[in-house]
A and B are shown apart, each in its own frame.
Chain A
């Protein structure tokens, strides 16, 4: 099995942990000395760098939150000087101010290497033509994968987003073998291609999809693989970590998190206790080598499971399984994790209903019962009951596919659902009453 950096990727776990400890210790000393923000935070938590004497001591360190970046807009958390910075990226922030991330030369190098390892781990290399259909610019997706793909010696087709018909023509004419984009954009491409009379499965050389930047499911994976004739791999990251960072290997069972770059903890959502591998909880990530914008114990807000079982691909680094959703609002329905964000995402793709929704969870006998109330949009309102019933079935069907759990849908009058800024109030859980 080809690896980009065999020495690091197949390093025994023991050695990796020693390396992580060394990097952590250095990082903490550096921050305590040079980051007024983190120095203050450590003082509040009554921790000194001398208290970090084992990898497990990471638990003693205070957390960082997304809000810390916003509050210190634009660059007050940076620990590199202007001279050392070689690039900015800016995340558009869904609430309020954007966040700015800066990179030193080493930061870009580590980011690019991380993606080079990932791209090779899913079978790509020299001779591949990688179409990068993530946005180029302030967003990290386009440029990140662009340089990762160049580093492994592949040929980059930097299409960025938009102009889908042209993208499909170029995919055909230049024999793209892989594409990097959001799963929903690839679905859209597949549909547009069919309208043009092009079957991605039969009429292109595409074999690989590197898909991420939004939640998707294994059901979507199977469907895309079958329909488009590709292998679809999950890619994970956020701008705080540098950008897209980790890609699944050919085993397709989660992405290897390179231990020399990142230390992952999984915390119980209620108690904050560290969970053992195999248990689902909130991901907390420490970037061990970032220079311009260090992130220590960053509460990234995603929920998943850490898997440290040996991987058949030979890489020793633990894997994070597919992200299950956001911390703030996970529900468990008949044993399946359901996130309001998944519901929202699905509804957004259905023009007949508005984006507003309310989830009501109840227990009927021994079973959980999930009802999603949606507003019927003005344009979709038909005086025919049949049409309305069909809209409801369509919504139920799409939600079932996205969530892997059966859902009842209720159509309600427009404007009748409460409007909230946050997601928490969109859920009424009656099971505990």
Chain B
């Protein structure tokens, strides 16, 4: 098992909290025919961070940087959940037992299953622990 297979490159964009910023980022993706697979906005006082999993992360990085955005790649992992009552609980409990501390998390519910995307401090170790507890991680190649 190669943990690298499960580490997904999320794109993070610094954005001021003002009208039109999201549209500007989304437009850039559209122009480059980049598909967004998952997406969240974290908001603080006056600014925010837009986080997205996209099918063409390098292209997205290039395009946004050329537009002057402050962009960074962040390693995250995606845990598969059952799309039914108790699905999140099952996974959250597993993460707790595995001693994994989340920096942040967001989720989406897709056609096949629900997915919890998490950022953790020690990503390699988290992958190993989740798998050893019987969790299912989505492989990075699904997102590209």
Contact = CB atoms under 8 A, between A and B. Distances in A.
B12 A383 contact: yes
Given A376-B14, A383-B49, A384-B103, A389 B69 contact: no
B92 interface: no
A385 B42 contact: yes
A416 B68 contact: yes
A384 B70 CA distance: 13
The B contact surface, by secondary structure, is strand
A381 B70 contact: yes
Interface in B26-85: 42, 44, 46-47, 49, 51, 68-72, 74
Nearest to B15: A413
Contact of A411 (B10, B46, B68, B103): B46
Contacts of A383: 10, 12, 49, 51, 72, 74, 119
A75 interface: no
A344 interface: no
Contacts of A384: 103-104
Interface string B96-134: 000000011000000000000001000000000000000
Query: Contact residue range for chain A?
Result: 10 to 19
B16 interface: yes
A contacts with B: majority SS: loop
Interface residues of B, number: 20
A388 B16 contact: no
A416 B24 CA distance: 14
A128 to B, nearest CB: 51
A414 B47 CA distance: 13
B44 A388 contact: yes
B16 A413 contact: yes
B46 A410 contact: yes
A413 B119 contact: no
Contacts of A424: none
A381 B16 contact: no
A245 B103 CA distance: 56
A415 B16 CA distance: 12
Contacts of A381: 12, 14, 70-72
Interface in A365-415: 376, 378, 381-385, 388-389, 410-415
Contacts of B104: 384-385
Nearest to B50: A383
Given A410-B46, A411-B46, 20 more contacts: A378-B70, A381-B70, A381-B71, A383-B12, A383-B49, A383-B72, A383-B74, A385-B42, A385-B44, A385-B49, A385-B104, A388-B14, A388-B44, A411-B14, A412-B16, A412-B47, A413-B68, A413-B69, A414-B14, A414-B70
Instruction: Pick the 3 closest A-B CB pairs, nearest first.
Output: A383-B12, A383-B74, A415-B68
8 contacts: A376-B14, A383-B10, A383-B49, A385-B44, A385-B104, A389-B44, A413-B14, A415-B68
